[in-house]
Structure 1
Amino acid sequence: MDLLRVGILNTFVIHTRKMHLLRNQAHVNGAWVKAKSNAMFPVLNPADDKVIAEVPDMDAADAKQAVDVAACAFQSWRQTTAKERSRILRRWFDLCEQNADKIAEIMTAESGKPLSESKAEITYGNSFLEWFADSARHINGEIIQSPWPNKQILLNRQPIGVVSVITPWNFPFAMITRKVGALLAAGCTCVIKPAEDTPLTALAAVDLAAQACVPNGVINVVTTSRKNAISVGKVLCEDPHIACISFTGSTQVGKLLYGQAAKGIKRVALELGGNAPFIVFPSADIEHAVDHAMLAKFRNSGQACVGVNRFLIHEGVYQEFVNCFKNRIQQKCILGPGMRKEVTNGPLINDAQVKKVTGLVDKAVSKGAKVLIGGKVDTQLGSKFYQPTLITDVQPEMEIFHEEIFGPVAVCYKIKSESEAVSLANDTRGGLSAYVFTKELGQAFRMSKNLEFGMVAINDGILSAAEPAFGGIKESGIGREGSLHGALEYTDIKYTLMSGLDK
């Protein structure tokens, strides 16, 4: 086993040396730049903590410069036609398609997710560039019926300005294309601050955007470590040139950014944490439900905002579901470094995440929860490889039931009725996604209506795509991404009154 691990690590080192699109500088005004201080910070592979590359550790002064550049570029970019913006987005899409494998290698190296999942994310992320390339030409205004015979009312949509794009580590490519594709289509410019754990994927994506002839200054990337993240974030929220803050991440950080944005009455687009229920009723196809439970829970090792947090299973099918789920986890989940072809579950992103997941599981077990499979870190593989885990005998008062786990831990609870399912599911401040499995049409519609979540999937564990409007309610966020609504988030409505038409 030790010799096998050595071989895997040696193979990975060779891969990183050959990775194309691997950039180690930030991108401002069309140039690859260092931090003004020349400071750097390392980007680590979470599978083995080896350094992949070092990137600039930028501070508030660097962020301010990037914002000023974006503000200047906005004056010309806003004047481009929708047709031209569409063409540029289409070129960016084409280049990302052509370089999908190269970006995927970088993503797996810095995020730890299996290479197959990285490739799937590139496909998903590219779908937004393709979608917004088309949507750019459909951001239309209105002519309103006038109450006056000699006047006409016009409403048109205009780009709001410079957007701060703050992206998470769990989907480092798709969260950029989903946001930046939309704002470019609307005619805005941006400054991107990628997560400190995964800046290399962002730099690769923006490298291809530059090759697609996105004008200098329209897309800028500021890289920064945790040490400077607060000061850089302050600039990206409070600078007068910033018109909107688009953030995907934790609810806690989202609230802080929202508070900073309020100082300047700035637009916010927040996609925050969730506490997704996965509800299975007696009429459900159990095999089908388990197949989708695997997707909804263990994709990216459970590190997804729409990932399931609570499995609410009707008592009539509870044991059948749990037994089938356990067998499927044992058969299908293969833990290991993401570069290995057979691996389905990689490491957690960092030590803090390992500590959080471990603490939630251990506390639940100490209060009576039962671990059927997994429940600990596989130390033979490394310090961050948390085993795919299935837990039963969980109670609603346990922390693991109402705290977003963000790890490969499935928590099962037995319900007795539809009303109990709705009550338990809604008993959370989160309201992002929910999953319901039933063959009863009336029940499906009732659940869709009564569940307090921005997105409800019936008989499916994957609901994300470019076409629907993605987003939550309550403390899971503000605004929508994807769909035409995603581009409209970055526009203002201007009302023009045309009067004196009879003169």
Structure 2
Amino acid sequence: MKQTIDAAPMAVAVTEMLEKLGIKEVNPAYSTGLVWGGQNNKEVREIYSPADGNLIASVRMATEEDYGAVIRKAEEAFKVWRTVPAPKRGEIVRQIGNKLREFKEPLGKLVSYEMGKILQEGLGEVQEMIDICDFAVGLSRQLQGSTLHSERPSHRMYDQYHPLGVVGVISAFNFPVAVWSWNAMLAAVCGDVTVWKPSEKTPLTALACQHIIRDVLADNELPEGIFSVIIGDAKIGVAMSKDVRVPLVSATGSTRMGKKVGEAVGARLGKSLLELGGNNAIIMTENADIEMALRAVVFGAVGTCGQRCTSTRRVIIHENIYDEVKERLLKIYPNLPIGNPLSDGTLVGPLIDKDAVEAFLNALKAVQKEGGNLLIGGEVLEGAGYETGTYVTPAIVEAENHYHLVQEETFAPILYLIKYSGGVENAIDIQNGVKQGLSSSIFSTNMLETEAFVSHWGSDCGIANVNIGTSGAEIGGAFGGEKDTGGGRESGSDAWRIYMRRQTNTINFSRELPLAQGIKFDF
């Protein structure tokens, strides 16, 4: 079942990877793109790999004084960056994309080693960064407004979009670099600067990104502060959320965290872009292509060890095919290749840490107390290759949608099987019957069912797929969800608008001044 890597060559490969990316034994607390700071800070955090338990490197933790210094540099940089024409800002992003191409392999490996997702997913995450750079380059020539017809003669009216300012980005451990790029590259072409607080669980990939883009900034003689990163705990996130100098905070993480960020930003009437929890379901109607659906269900449930916000948590199956689907899944799960994420052939890597393992085990205990039937999985693997205690066997549980644990998002590989009867509208009601609303999917060859699913009385999620799984969104589409998922949108489509402020302009090119509402007066 497991995939192993010989320890000696592995250690050499890790050392070479870290050297290429500029990661030292102990790393600074922050960077303003060109200058590093906080090298002498007393608090140090050691970063261990969930793959093998080895110490990768350490980071200095930033202070509130460091945060203030970073924001001041960002404010100074914004005054310069906003005056650069948008297509020229796009040229800088194009160069960043090319740098990421050069470092795709080592950065992808570090994503895999630091976070625990399999290597192909790590490389795929870096490819998403490259793709969003390409998207942003094209966008830099398309930041259009609208021309409107004025009701007053000899007047012209239009709306346009201007840079917003400093954008704060708070990212989560599960996508340690892609989420930053979705925000930072769009913000950059919009004329904004970004200050990035990565997860304290995966800070090394963030520091590596700063090393990668540094030469682009230096070669183009740009000021420090356009792209900044600061390594810290929740105190830094709180400071950013409350800071009136940061007009937009984009936060990715749990619903609990997002509500705190949204409350703090809202209290100062700032803008927040929240990408929070998902409780994603795949509906399998009796008209589903079962072979295709099973492929989507399995990868959606166990990919990234269930630690994607778009991971498949529930599969809602018509009673006529329920037993067949359950039987097939119970044959597939024992053969899942679980092991070191850097090894060829591995599909399921480790959970991020032992706290995540404990949450996984506790959720399974709790759902069984509610009446759930654990069919398979739910074990912590031991023995050679599994010494870290972070490898688990993905679980399948027969459950009902109203169970408390089914209503919550457990960031782990737990798949709930839910049976439904009657028409597709019953399945849609079950799918919508949770607090979260990120990603959803239906498998059916019946157009009446699929069209109902994507209609305005169908799925209430921000993403609704037909004959595609819940994970694996494309860069070109807006990414985000509704309800407790936060309502934000990142990446493609017109998601760029949140990084700008909208302005309506009216120009009078007559020699008269007609007043609003037909008011007339003499003086």
TM exceeding 0.5: yes
**Separation of aligned partners in 1, 2:33 and 2:100:** 21
Find out whether 1:347 has 2:350 as its counterpart.
Answer: yes
Find out whether 1:487 has 2:496 as its counterpart.
Answer: yes
**Separation of aligned partners in 2, 1:132 and 1:188:** 13
Q: CA 1:484 to 1:501, structure 2 compared with 1: closer, same or farther past 3 Å? A: farther
Shift of 1:329: 2.6
Shift of 1:357: 1.0
- SS of residue paired to 2:436: coil
Find out whether 1:217 has 2:225 as its counterpart.
Answer: yes
Which digits, 9 at most, give the CA deviation of each residue in 1:38-93, with x for residues without a partner?
43211110123321011120122111111111111000101111111111111111
Following superposition of structure 1 onto structure 2, how do residues 448-467 of structure 1 map, counting pairs within 5 Å?
448-449=454-455, 450-461=458-469, 462-467=471-476
Q: What corresponds to 1:407 in structure 2?
A: 412
**Separation of aligned partners in 1, 2:21 and 2:495:** 28
Q: Which structure has the greater CA radius of gyration?
A: 2
With 365-374 and 259-268 compared, the bigger mean Cα shift is at 365-374
Following superposition of structure 1 onto structure 2, how do residues 168-183 of structure 1 map, counting pairs within 5 Å?
168-183=172-187
Q: What corresponds to 1:377 in structure 2?
A: 380
* Count of residue pairs the alignment pairs up: 495
Following superposition of structure 1 onto structure 2, how do residues 175-194 of structure 1 map, counting pairs within 5 Å?
175-194=179-198
With 30-39 and 85-94 compared, the bigger mean Cα shift is at 30-39
Which digits, 9 at most, give the CA deviation of each residue in 1:118-169, with x for residues without a partner?
1121112321111111112111112211111121112110011101100010
Question: What amino acid is the match of 2:269?
Answer: I
Find out whether 1:435 has 2:441 as its counterpart.
Answer: yes
Q: What corresponds to 1:77 in structure 2?
A: 81
Contact 2:33/2:214 (CA < 8 Å) preserved in 1?
A: no
Find out whether 1:472 has 2:481 as its counterpart.
Answer: yes
- SS of residue paired to 1:237: helix
Shift of 1:330: 2.9
Find out whether 1:261 has 2:270 as its counterpart.
Answer: no
Q: What corresponds to 1:10 in structure 2?
A: 8
Contact 1:289/1:437 (CA < 8 Å) preserved in 2?
A: yes
**Separation of aligned partners in 1, 2:339 and 2:129:** 25
**Separation of aligned partners in 1, 2:243 and 2:68:** 8
Contact 2:476/2:492 (CA < 8 Å) preserved in 1?
A: yes
**Separation of aligned partners in 2, 1:172 and 1:269:** 17
Identity of aligned residues (%): 25
Q: CA 1:274 to 1:223, structure 2 compared with 1: closer, same or farther past 3 Å? A: same
Match of 1:416 among 395, 413, 421: 421
Match of 2:95 among 86, 91, 97: 91
- SS of residue paired to 1:138: coil
Contact 1:190/1:219 (CA < 8 Å) preserved in 2?
A: yes
- SS of residue paired to 2:320: coil
Find out whether 1:130 has 2:134 as its counterpart.
Answer: yes
TM-score using structure 1 length: 0.94
With 48-57 and 204-213 compared, the bigger mean Cα shift is at 204-213
Q: What corresponds to 2:200 in structure 1?
A: 196
Contact 2:126/2:178 (CA < 8 Å) preserved in 1?
A: yes
Question: What amino acid is the match of 1:243?
Answer: P
Question: What amino acid is the match of 1:14?
Answer: V
Question: What amino acid is the match of 2:11?
Answer: V
Q: What corresponds to 1:234 in structure 2?
A: 238
Match of 1:286 among 279, 285, 290: 290
Shift of 1:463: 4.5
Find out whether 1:334 has 2:337 as its counterpart.
Answer: yes
Contact 2:38/2:66 (CA < 8 Å) preserved in 1?
A: no
Following superposition of structure 1 onto structure 2, how do residues 136-175 of structure 1 map, counting pairs within 5 Å?
136-175=140-179
Q: What corresponds to 1:301 in structure 2?
A: 305
- SS of residue paired to 1:137: coil
TM-score using structure 2 length: 0.91
- SS of residue paired to 1:290: helix
Contact 1:347/1:384 (CA < 8 Å) preserved in 2?
A: yes
Q: What corresponds to 2:401 in structure 1?
A: 396
Shift of 1:362: 1.8
- SS of residue paired to 1:242: coil
- SS of residue paired to 1:212: helix
Which digits, 9 at most, give the CA deviation of each residue in 1:354-398, with x for residues without a partner?
111111112223444333321111122131101122222x12343
Shift of 1:502: 4.4
